[in-house]
Amino acid sequence: MNGKDKSGYQSLSTGEVLITGENGVSLNGNEKTALTHFAPRLGIAYQADPKTVIRTGYGRSYDVGVFGVSFGHNVTQNLPVLANQSLNPANPWLAVFTLNQGPPSLDPTTILASQPKGSTGNPILPNGSS
């Protein structure tokens, strides 16, 4: 999360999409971070000859990466930051768009703007979204 409207996550209690910087949601997603977390790193490199370098390292992290993380990945890979666009031609043999013109633009924030609002004024996640 690095700014207003740059991330969002669904509140399981209300079904609303909470967007950073909107309706009382702080830029840290209203989460408190303990500054006592210790995540040391150590790296070693050895150059055996001009064409061979051996490197090794160890690190402790609180972010498990793109796959499996339930907080950091979700807030940047969902509405309002990212949306999937599915285009279907009127007939199977017709093109949806040409490479010259490209697909129609899609602004993920407009998807949420058109949604009904929940009890705290935040948009409800659209059906079919996760």
Residues in the chain: 130
Measured CA to CA, the distance from residue 8 to residue 65 in angstroms comes to 18
19-28, 48-57, 72-81: segment of lowest average pLDDT: 72-81
Q: In what helix (H) or strand (E) does residue 109 lie, and over which residues does it extend?
A: helix 108-113
What pLDDT, on a 0 to 100 scale, did the predictor assign at position 100?
92
Q: What is the reported pLDDT for 76?
A: 59
What is the mean predicted confidence (pLDDT) over 56-84? 66
Least confident of 21-25, 52-56, 123-127: 123-127
17 falls in which pLDDT band (50, 70, 90)?
A: confident
| Burial (CB count within 10 angstroms: exposed 0-12, middle 13-18, buried 19+), residue 79 | buried
> Residue 130 pLDDT > 80, yes or no?
no
Please tell me the number of Cα atoms within 13 Å of 11 on its side-chain side.
20
pLDDT at residue 34, as a whole number:
77
